[in-house]
Amino acid sequence: MGSSSPLTRRNRAPSSVLLIFCCFILCFSHSSNAQTKPVFACDVDTNPSLAGYGFCNTLLKIEYRVADLVARLTLQEKIGFLVSNATGVTRLGIPPYKWWSEALHGVSYVGDATRFLGLVPGATSFPQVILTAASFNVSLFQAIGKVVSTEARAMYNVGSAGLTYWSPNVNIFRDPRWGRGQETPGEDPLLSSKYASGYVKGLQETDGADANRLKVAACCKHYTAYDVDNWKGVERYNFNAVVNQQDMDDTYQPPFKSCVVDGNVASVMCSYNQVNGKPTCADPDLLAGVIRGEWKLNGYIVSDCDSVKVLYEYQHYTKTPAEAAAISINAGLDLNCGSYLGQYTEDAVKAGLVHEAAIDNAISNNFLTLMRLGFFDGDPKKQIYGELGPKDVCTPSNQELAAEAARQGIVLLKNTGCLPLSPTTTKSLAMIGPNANVTETMIGNYQGIPCKYTTPLQGLAATVPATTYLPGCANVACTVADVAGATKLAGDADVTVLVMGADKSIEEESRDRVDLNLPGQQEELVTQVAKAAKGPVLLVIMSGGGFDITFAKNDPKIAGILWVGYPGEAGGIAIADIIFGRYNPSGRLPMTWYPQSYVEKVPMTNMNMRPDTSNGYPGRTYRFYTGETVYSFGDGLSYTKFSHSLVKAPPRVVSLRVEENHVCRSSECQSLDAFGPHCENTVSGFEVQIKVRNGGDREGVHTVFLFTTPPEVHGSPRKHLLGFEKIRLGKMEEAVVKFNVDVCKDLSVVDENGKRKVGLGQHRLHVGDLKHSLSIRI
Ligand SMILES: *[C@@H]1O[C@H](CO)[C@@H](O)[C@H](O)[C@H]1NC(C)=O
Ligand SMILES: *[C@@H]1O[C@H](CO)[C@@H](O)[C@H](O)[C@H]1NC(C)=O
Ligand SMILES: *[C@@H]1O[C@H](CO)[C@@H](O)[C@H](O)[C@H]1NC(C)=O
């Protein structure tokens, strides 16, 4: 569309417009300085009178500047800062600001503020988060965040992006049907926590400058216990997540806590759904109590888009719109994505439902964030990062990181020995499948416009020019399969590669799956091609969630299976590098792949993590589910062989010294609090050292997982991840990986009331096949 938004910045306008604009300022600035539509806030050069305002004075403390600004505003002006399209205040030289930008795996065009036009036609599109998570590489999470924030700042400087990004999504991927599972780091609270804090630091942290300064502001969402979008008529807008305290503290909350406490995130977004009968955006315990009170958020709490309206209109949680506005602000909400608070807050104040002080408090949190971003520091070009521009977007090294992230994440699930393929002896390839030559599918949802795409076909054909291609189905739904065409192609080629799976028509926001089978005729196509193929057949699954591909796992004609997530703009490069052995696969599944029978037993709406023997509910995720899996959390093969040995183990017995009058001295106890004198008085920290050896004939990267199985107290998990570390080893090389384990912190579990406890009895640590038991007693 031709016309640009009212947010037009000087440097975004074409030069002719710029001239007219400058003339406008020159001609009118003397008579009506303060009334000139500001381009950026505190533009003291254009409007010298602003220099006298405390909020523009960069020498003052931020808190003082915020208070100064709030004190200058009328109630109506204040309300304008409660909504995501902030209108600004021309008389104070404050331009409008659009809060909503997204950067889940690259700067995205979803939201109001970010557009790919003219100067920046695209940005680096990294793999969808579920694949990046599969790398289990915390430095990679942070490295990606850093590149994304550089590109975001560069786009901001030319007026095509905002400063506030509502990413990442750190909800636990507790059910494979969830359409947004692809956006998350998977099912494990520890991995999700590390992802949350790592990615947020990458986005937010400035290079060495003031710790209070933000490069861009990140946001962890959707708080909390969300993860149902639209399943059999249950929509996120009306879903009441019934969550017990144990699952809340053990599973749903940890990524958010880590995001705020370890990542110092500048924002948290409350979700649409209710938790135990209360809309999250109207729950004072969850917002003011936990996020701000316990975790000490330094920033703002934003609603999911139109959440406030939803709690009134869909959930009928309040009797009037004004009550919905008041209850949210009083609960601790600072900003509304949407316009609802703009419409109804004044009524709420007039009706005495909310005090103006609560509004001051909310906008102070919003202003604080903008101050930390430099929004009130005058010309962005003269600030830190002011030199960034289009030249810093889609650089070769940024694009290489997108390829590298895909290489690090891709998971090899099956290999009968034919992988890697020899690039010299593989003379011909047949590429078959609806995802074999896709572009947009590779970037999943919350996408932007990538710098460029390399499709799987392009990636593999670069190595084997004699590559033939047939989609085999019109799309991933695959209602009709061209079996005859596909089998003919496979019959003529040295190797056949099938690229199957899903796309946004199967799983995305507002679209949950109802089953785990490959869509339509995909299974039939794969099976028939495998039968007819002349050479080995490789199956590549492109998807966010897992599939029941038991048929392929068991089919001897299928020589290899790869899961490639949605691998980002450079997906084809990474897939080819792995298939031809230029990169030795090292990704591990961040979520369980269940059989189809699982979803027939488990309603998606059941939030319980633990199994229930009384009704046959099997539990969720590797921590609790004991049934059959197709593939398990942590699965993933390499082209080399790694082995572990224990170099240093904890003692066999750890005695926690409890006080003389402790109740557990006189009676049987199952567990002790994971805090208190017995945790401080005892030497309860120890080191575990594991030697890892690459016994194969090529370099490889290996993830060491340290799991622990606690004694069976408080419905403890069957095992849980205590730490992970990724290392690169040359052939026949070995190295020692160290983990520090603290009995009270790391070996504790969450009890029925949400309290952390150390189980008394046998704890088992495991790394691969290695096991070590220790007994905790008093
Ligand atoms: C913000 O304003 C734009 C028009 O400039 C509108 O299209 C968009 O829906 C608004 N966003 C929200 C979240 O209300
Ligand atoms: C593969 O996809 C690319 C990108 O859309 C397209 O340019 C190319 O023509 C496709 N190749 C074939 C053989 O269809
Ligand atoms: C983790 O990722 C970073 C950033 O890409 C990379 O430099 C490092 O080598 C990776 N670690 C391993 C063990 O592969």
Q: Where are the domains of the chain?
A: 401-601, 641-777
Closest residue to atom 11 of ligand 2, CA basis: 437
Q: Which atom of ligand 3 is nearest to the CA of 586?
A: 14
Judged by its nearest atom, the ligand closest to the C-alpha of residue 143 is 3
* Distance from Cα 582 to the centre of ligand 3, integer Å: 16
* Distance from Cα 583 to the centre of ligand 3, integer Å: 13
Judged by its nearest atom, the ligand closest to the C-alpha of residue 340 is 1
43, 227, 229, 304: the catalytic one is 304
Read off the pTM: 0.95
- The H or E element spanning position 105 is none
* Distance from Cα 471 to the centre of ligand 2, integer Å: 11
Closest residue to atom 9 of ligand 2, CA basis: 437
Q: Distance (Å, rounded) from C-alpha 323 to C-alpha 516?
A: 42
Q: Give me the DSSP letters along 520-554.
A: TTHHHHHHHHHHH-SS-EEEEEE-SS----HHHHH
Specify the pLDDT at position 209.
63
Q: Which atom of ligand 1 is nearest to the CA of 84?
A: 13
Closest residue to atom 6 of ligand 2, CA basis: 437
Closest residue to atom 5 of ligand 3, CA basis: 140
The CATH number, out of the four listed (3.30.540.10, 3.40.50.300, 2.60.40.10, 3.40.1190.20), of the domain defined by the range 641-777: 2.60.40.10
Specify the pLDDT at position 118.
85
Closest residue to atom 1 of ligand 1, CA basis: 85
Specify the pLDDT at position 37.
81
pLDDT tens-digit series, residues 220-234:
999 999 999 999 999
Specify the pLDDT at position 712.
96
* Distance from Cα 84 to the centre of ligand 1, integer Å: 8
Q: Distance (Å, rounded) from C-alpha 468 to C-alpha 464?
A: 10
Specify the pLDDT at position 117.
87
Judged by its nearest atom, the ligand closest to the C-alpha of residue 461 is 2
Distances (CA, A) of 91 to 88, 95, 357, 479: 9, 10, 23, 60
> Which residues does the chain have with pLDDT short of 50?
1-34
Structure tokens at 39: 């381009």
Specify the pLDDT at position 36.
67
Annotation says 392 is catalytic: no
Specify the pLDDT at position 4.
33
Radius of gyration of the CA atoms of the chain, in A:
28
Closest residue to atom 10 of ligand 2, CA basis: 437
Q: Which atom of ligand 3 is nearest to the CA of 405?
A: 5
Q: Distance (Å, rounded) from C-alpha 336 to C-alpha 573?
A: 41
Q: Which atom of ligand 3 is nearest to the CA of 728?
A: 13
Q: Give me the DSSP letters along 127-151.
A: PPHHHHHTT--HHHHHHHHHHHHHH
CB of 85 shorter than 6 A to ligand 1: yes
Judged by its nearest atom, the ligand closest to the C-alpha of residue 400 is 3
- The H or E element spanning position 654 is strand 653-655
CB of 4 shorter than 6 A to ligand 1: no
Burial class (CB in 10 A: 0-12, 13-18, 19+), 383: middle
Specify the pLDDT at position 35.
57
Assign residue 332 a region (left: φ > 0; alpha: ψ between -120 and 50; beta: otherwise): left
CATH (residue range 401-601): 3.40.50.1700
Residue of 437, 439, 441, 460 to test ligand 2 pocket, by largest number of atoms within 8 Å of CB: 437
* Distance from Cα 341 to the centre of ligand 1, integer Å: 14
Judged by its nearest atom, the ligand closest to the C-alpha of residue 467 is 2
Residue of 439, 440, 457 to test ligand 2 pocket, by largest number of atoms within 8 Å of CB: 457
Closest residue to atom 9 of ligand 3, CA basis: 728
Q: Which atom of ligand 2 is nearest to the CA of 469?
A: 13
* Distance from Cα 567 to the centre of ligand 2, integer Å: 17
Q: Beta strands of 460-494 (E only): which ranges?
A: 467-470
* Distance from Cα 389 to the centre of ligand 3, integer Å: 27
Specify the pLDDT at position 688.
96
Q: Which atom of ligand 2 is nearest to the CA of 438?
A: 2
* Distance from Cα 705 to the centre of ligand 2, integer Å: 40
CA-wise closest residue to 498 among 558, 583, 420: 558
